[in-house]
Amino acid sequence: MTSNGATSAETETHATPDLERLFDPDSVAVVGASPDSFYSGNLVDNLLDYGFDGDLYPVNPSRDEVWDRRCYDDVDDVPETVDLVVVSVPREYVVDVVRAAGDRGVPVALVLTAGFSEADEAGAAVEADLAAAAEDAGIRVVGPNCIGVMSSAGATLTSTCSREPEPGGIGLVSQSGALAFTTFFERAADQDLHFSHIVSTGNETDLTLTDYVAYLAEQDDVDVICTYVEGIEDPERFMRVAERAVRNGTPVLTVKIGQSDQAEAATLSHTGSLTGDDDAWAAAFDQTGVQRVPDIPDLLGRANAHTGGAPPDGDRVCIASTSGGLASLLADMAAERGLALPDIDGATEQALLDLDDLLTYGELRNPADIRGYGADVLPEIADALLNDDGFDAYVFAIGLSGVDDRAADIAADLAAIAARAEDPVYVLWTGRKVPDDPSETPAYARLRESVPFYEDPSRCLDAVASTVEFAAARDRLADQSPRSALAADRGASADLDLPRGRVLTWEEAESLLSAFDVPTVETRLATSADEAADALASMDGSAVLKVDSPELPHRTDAGAVRLGVESAEEAREAYDDVYTAARTRVDDDDIAGILVQPMVDGGVEAMLGVAPGDVFGSLVTVGPGGVLVEVLDESATLVPPFSRADARRAVEETALADVLTDRRDGEPLPVDPVVDLLVCVGDLAASVESVAELDLNPVVVTADGPVAVDALVRTTE
């Protein structure tokens, strides 16, 4: 089974689209332009008010003149072939307008009109016609059901932007139009945080969220890409595009909804998209270095940190706080986020202790409690800390008023410190923010222009952790093959002719597993009680007997398994018992025989499997097996193809690694053989399209390595 619905060849044919004329057009035609229309009217107002100096052509046969400009009857009447056509007409006219624009040579259409696949079946049919017409005419389409787009260096093409965008380093791609501008943009602007680009993707009948991410990742003015994701039609392409962005140095952050049934239902009614299995998306993001964040404030806070320059070289953070209580709180929060707080010692500690204006008592810890007095000697404190090679990033936490005269000096000092620091500096200011005169700009606010600035401790350390996590993901991805290469190395297997639409017999399953170097326990098939006894005699120790029937995949539930068989007599008796139990559930013709296998003792049981997904074609799972499946209820998910590094992180994410290495009743067992086995199962999942489901449970791991003692394989029709 492949990792998604699209083949590798289909995925590779998608080049990064040229969207320059969408974001920075020299000429725009607005079809359906009317000052009386909320959407087209406000869009034109914003376009003109926010600095567009190109040619604007209103198109509306019901008007002679609008905005002091001649109004044209249709696109063909416009005196030049424009860079962009904005479409805001009833849905029954949209296809004709877009087709006419494409025939005229217009490269891109921005379709605001709603009422397509998100509305009803008739709308879905019109949307399909729109996609076909656009392809035939050679025009790219944004939307339909789209609020608009914006480029701070180009044009603002939306009806819902209440202020002129300022230049920034955040590229935002949102599958919610209303959230894109009325929430993301407005909330960020309130915090002096600004965007380079914003896209409301609409229904994505042509251009998709992945297209925009691919484009933004190649823009010099984009420091970080943020996405609001409901559903993605081609998840494999998104994974490759996002992975490439992170590998090349552009962080990708996402709010991905769909963790609840209610969210999925809301998305279906909103866009017609499937959100997909949440564990699968978590795996996809983890494998490609995409950071998933819980909500909008988190997204903006973390994005802010990524616009401040290069990320830290490591996870060693130094925190200096004017409040001891705040220092303690930040210490706990840093530990929760996996951030290291090395000691302040040696020459650095002595330099701080020697400061006359810094009240200390014998030693300094990290976080350093510099007390309120320390705010008056921040440059001297920073000189000592910034010269210490033992730290990768710095947080200055100010628990003082941000609106008095002293705050102005503190803010100026912090700005100067950040400017000269070679490592990232973050500012947390938790004191008073509202001045007596509301019209006055408080001193602390000016820091936002030059330093990642936070008012909430958790948001601040989330942001620090985000930059650390990005650097680690970027370096990790740089050291392994990209997904496109992994897929090429694991091309579909043409040598396997598997029966379709049923569970495989043991012999068929064993042949499949052997082709991908998945070890299985020694097994003999008996078709009589005497053959069972002979099989036992050929093995060392006790044996397991179990039915082999594609029609009875869960043989334990039928009582068709016997454990601990030790003698020929017991083997004959077990054969008869297992066969009789199976016959109560299936016909004789459906029983291939009885499997005889040696008992594998003294090991750790693991579980590996392949399962179908709603959006991803197949998912690979790993975790503790046997009875531990229900006891620990813990497994990790991977989206094939995946690297060996991904496989190791998945094994170590579960309790399986600890169960292997910290055994109470035996010597530690190595993790590497299980990692190798997981890679083999991933190769199988990525290569054999006809495998719908695979369950290896248990896989017994001993000092000799892992071996599958049971296997259930179901193929597609």
Domain locations along the chain: 317-451, 522-598, 604-715
**Cβ 320 vs Cβ 211: under 8 Å:** no
* pLDDT tens track for 635-671: 899 999 999 999 999 999 999 999 999 988 889 999 9
What rounded mean pLDDT belongs to the chain? 92
* pLDDT tens track for 574-628: 999 999 999 999 999 999 999 999 999 889 999 999 998 878 888 999 999 887 7
Which tokens belong to 441? 């700009």
* pLDDT tens track for 470-498: 999 999 999 999 999 988 877 655 457 89
* pLDDT tens track for 350-391: 999 988 877 666 678 999 999 999 999 999 999 999 999 999
Share of the chain above pLDDT 90, in %: 83
**Cβ 451 vs Cβ 443: under 8 Å:** no
Amino acid at 711: A
Over residues 299-311, the mean pLDDT reads 95
* pLDDT tens track for 408-445: 999 999 999 999 999 999 999 999 988 888 888 888 88
Higher pLDDT, 556 or 356: 556
Question: Is domain 604-715 annotated with CATH 1.10.760.10?
Answer: no
Higher pLDDT, 178 or 50: 50
* pLDDT tens track for 19-73: 999 999 999 999 999 999 999 999 999 999 999 999 999 999 999 999 999 999 9
- C-alpha span between 206 and 94 (Å, rounded): 14
Q: What is the pLDDT of residue 666?
A: 84
Is pLDDT at 230 greater than 70 in this prediction?
yes
Which tokens belong to 182? 């009325």
* pLDDT tens track for 81-134: 999 999 999 999 999 999 999 999 999 999 999 999 999 999 999 999 999 999
Reported as a pLDDT band with limits 50, 70 and 90, residue 3 is very low
Q: What is the pLDDT of residue 4?
A: 44
Share of the chain above pLDDT 70, in %: 94
Annotate 300-365 with three-state secondary structure: HHHHHHHCCCCCCCCCEEEEEECCHHHHHHHHHHHHHCCCECCCCCHHHHHHHHCCCCCCCCCCCC
For residue 566, the SS3 value is coil
* pLDDT tens track for 394-409: 999 999 999 998 999 9
Q: What is the pLDDT of residue 270?
A: 34
Q: What is the pLDDT of residue 260?
A: 55
Q: What is the pLDDT of residue 259?
A: 61
522-598, what's its fold?
Dna Ligase; domain 1 (3.30.1490)
**Cβ 56 vs Cβ 44: under 8 Å:** yes
> For strand 195-200 and strand 148-151, is the pairing parallel, antiparallel, or unpaired?
antiparallel
Q: Which of 688, 693, 690, 685 is nearest to 500 (CA)?
A: 690
State which H helix or E strand residue 521 sits in.
Answer: none
Q: For the residues of 632-654, what is the DSSP string, one character each?
A: H---EEE-SS--HHHHHHHHHHS
Over residues 490-510, the mean pLDDT reads 83
Is pLDDT at 264 greater than 60 in this prediction?
no
Q: What is the pLDDT of residue 66?
A: 97
CATH number of 317-451: 3.40.50.261
604-715 matches 522-598 in CATH topology: no
Over residues 192-217, the mean pLDDT reads 97
Q: Which of 126, 334, 308 is nearest to 223 (CA)?
A: 308
Q: What is the pLDDT of residue 359?
A: 66
